[in-house]
Structure 1
Amino acid sequence: MPTLNINGTDTALDVPDDMPILWALRDVAGLTGTKFGCGVALCGACTVHLDGQAIRSCVTPVSAAAGKKITTIEAIGKDPVGAKVQAAWTQIDVVQCGYCQSGQVMAATALLHATPKPSDTDIDNAMSGNICRCGTYGRIKAAIRIAAAAGAPK
């Protein structure tokens, strides 16, 4: 039975080592903010952080998280950068249907941790793997710019 550090808490889960993290989070841990989209790491709806890096949880096995920290959308607001991203999302009403947005926020937060003042090209590259069926890409990019302008945490 693997023990995963999920949102800062060690959690023993009775799951096989090859189960995708997505299903361990949603079906076993009850954290449903991370969404299933495509199941093949192409849409980004399932994005979570593994030791601060944005990963696709639909194709990453639980065994890959051993000894690492998983952060989900449920806890990203505790991260100062994540809180700025969420505030920017709300400020300009990024969300339309909302299905992809947890993955978008997770990817944007990882981007701003790696590149606090991203160029438009940096944003495009970092967010290119996250699909929004509603087409809110312009608002997503604007929100990332707002969060970046809010500055790095002190």
Structure 2
Amino acid sequence: MHALRAVFAPTCSPFREKPFLLERLMLIESGSPVAADTRVGISLTINGQHRELQVAPWTTLLDLLRETLDLTGTKKGCDHGQCGACTVLVDGVRVNSCLALAVMKDGAEVTTVEGLAGLSNGGAGSNGLHPMQAAFVEHDAFQCGYCTPGQLCSSVGMMNEGHAHSRDEIREAMSGNICRCGAYTNIVDAIEDVMAQDGAAQDLGAAR
């Protein structure tokens, strides 16, 4: 009964700025009728493209990406935030998009696997891929590929966090992304490769 009230507290910044969002969510929680055609205007930058969108207040970021914007690289797996297949980057931070309401990301910058190459320093490589994507190919870090978009976004987000420096730390930091094919060793190899390249690039920059 009070789950939404606890999660979407008025102190959360989106509701301080746009209290009508909380009001509409509370209507959903209370069971009061909400018109099926209710829409909320939000603004997102998705893979570098600014978008003005009208969404139902209960629309998840995952459903907005897949169903409305046809960005189907982001996968719907468990729909409970447990498998990581839906991971995207929101303002550079990895997020399970199946658990995020689109209205709560108003004004954010969202990167999906389709826009990942544009995040690399200097843009995509000669093969058009982000270094992490290229490393996944090089190390055969995917099999069926269903979890791969989430694995890629999560690994880039993990590198942004800067907390993982060993194989064990990488495994721990990536533990929220499940690979049912069992390509974990190759995934860690790929991430280690990119981290080593990134470290070498930083060392070179410091030397200059």
Could you give the per-residue CA deviations for residues 94-138 of structure 1, whole angstroms, max 9, x where no partner exists?
Answer: 110000000000010011122286212321121100000100000
Listed as ranges, the gaps of 5+ residues in structure 1 are: none
Q: SS at the partner of 1:132?
A: coil
How far apart are residue 87 of structure 1 and its match?
1.1
**Which of structures 1 and 2 has the bigger CA Rg?**
2
Distance 2:66 2:165 in 1: 32
Counterpart in the other structure of 1:87:
134
Q: Give the letter aligned to residue 10 of structure 1.
A: H
In structure 2, the partner of 1:133 is 180
DSSP-derived class of the 1:75 partner: helix
> 1:61 offset after TM fit, Å?
0.2
* Bigger relative contact order, structure 1 or 2 (CA pairs below 8 A, ≥6 apart): 1
Alignment correspondent of 1:112: 159
CA displacement 1:2-34 (0-9 Å, x = unmatched)? 222111212122311321000000000110000
* RMSD of equivalent CA atoms: 1.7
Instruction: Compare 17-26 and 117-126 and name the one that shifted more.
Output: 117-126
Query: How far apart, CA to CA, are the structure 1 residues paired with 2:57 and 2:135?
Result: 37
Identity %: 38
Contact 1:2-1:17 within 8 A present in 2 as well: no
Q: Distance in 1 between matches of 2:164 and 2:180?
A: 27
Which has the larger displacement, 60-69 or 39-48?
Answer: 60-69
* Residue equivalent to 2:194: 147
| Length-normalised TM-score, structure 1 | 0.93
Partners in 2 of 1:126 and 1:110 — Cα distance?
A: 10
Runs of at least 4 residues off by over 4 Å: none
Listed as ranges, the matches of 1:1-150 within 5 Å are 1-80=41-120, 83-115=130-162, 118-150=165-197
Output the CA distance in 2 between the equivalents of 1:28 and 1:58: 14
